[in-house]
Structure 1
Amino acid sequence: MVPALLGLAACTTTEERPAPAAAVAVKPAPAPAAPTFTGPVLAPDGTCNGPAPTGAAVIQTGIGECDLVRLKGKPPTDVLVGEGRAGREVQVLYNEPGAKELYFFVNNRLDRIVK
């Protein structure tokens, strides 16, 4: 008789379960705005697509692509133009006597120099 009571006790217990969660609609995050930049930029052949600006006096981070060419006084050896996560990415190579200089631009602003 005891086993029968235990069996009935198991059937009569109630278990509390949480209510099912309501479905929540999640909107996708808006796409980031395309980066903007001003001024003329270099074409793959190393020419500027507009008049070269005259604002920069020295080669330093933050100058534009065409500023570099104007300050160097000669066309680059090679130019690679592409699109990356940050937007327009350009690599400008100058073969200098005894060394190579590589200039990295992001959105028409000099980001870093490798010599």
Structure 2
Amino acid sequence: MRFFGVLLALTALSACTATERAAPVPAPPPPSAVLPKTPATLSGPVLDAGGACTGPAPGTAAAIEPGIDECDLVRLKGRPPTDVLVGEGRAGREVQVLYAEPGAKELYFFVNNRLDRIVR
């Protein structure tokens, strides 16, 4: 009987020494996920959804080439675009300008008011 009393006491003591495990603390997110991205600054007027410039275009570009702004494209083409899609992407403002020409279509891609590429 004494043996069972000692066994019961040891069992009770072992329950007191058991520790609970806390849930692991999650790792903090990487710094790039925490810091907000600063919006890119746009220089000069831009096109609205109807294809019109939002301000007076300075007209400095002499040819349609990467790096010109949206309003310079319209000025150099000499007529409003067929269609304009304006949106926000990873890099900031993204604009697609379509000119439908007889027998061909030209699509101009702008990122933050600068011509990025042309698809003909």
Alignment-derived partner of residue 80 in structure 2 = 75
Alignment-derived partner of residue 86 in structure 1 = 91
Instruction: Name the amino acid aligned to 1:36.
Output: T
Secondary structure, aligned partner of 2:75? helix
Secondary structure, aligned partner of 2:52? coil
Deviation at 1:24, TM superposition (A): 9.5
Range moving further from structure 2, 92-101 or 29-38? 29-38
**Which consecutive aligned stretches of 4+ in structure 1 deviate over 6 angstroms post-superposition?**
none
Aligned Cα root-mean-square deviation (Å): 1.6
Structure 2 gaps of 5+ residues are 1-24
1:41 aligns with 2:46: yes
Deviations, residues 41-98 of structure 1 (Å, cap 9, x unaligned): 0000000000012110000000000000000000000000000111000000001121
Aligned residues: 93
Structure 1 gaps of 5+ residues are 1-22
Q: Which has the higher helix share?
A: 2
Q: Distance in 1 between matches of 2:75 and 2:57?
A: 7
Secondary structure, aligned partner of 2:105? strand
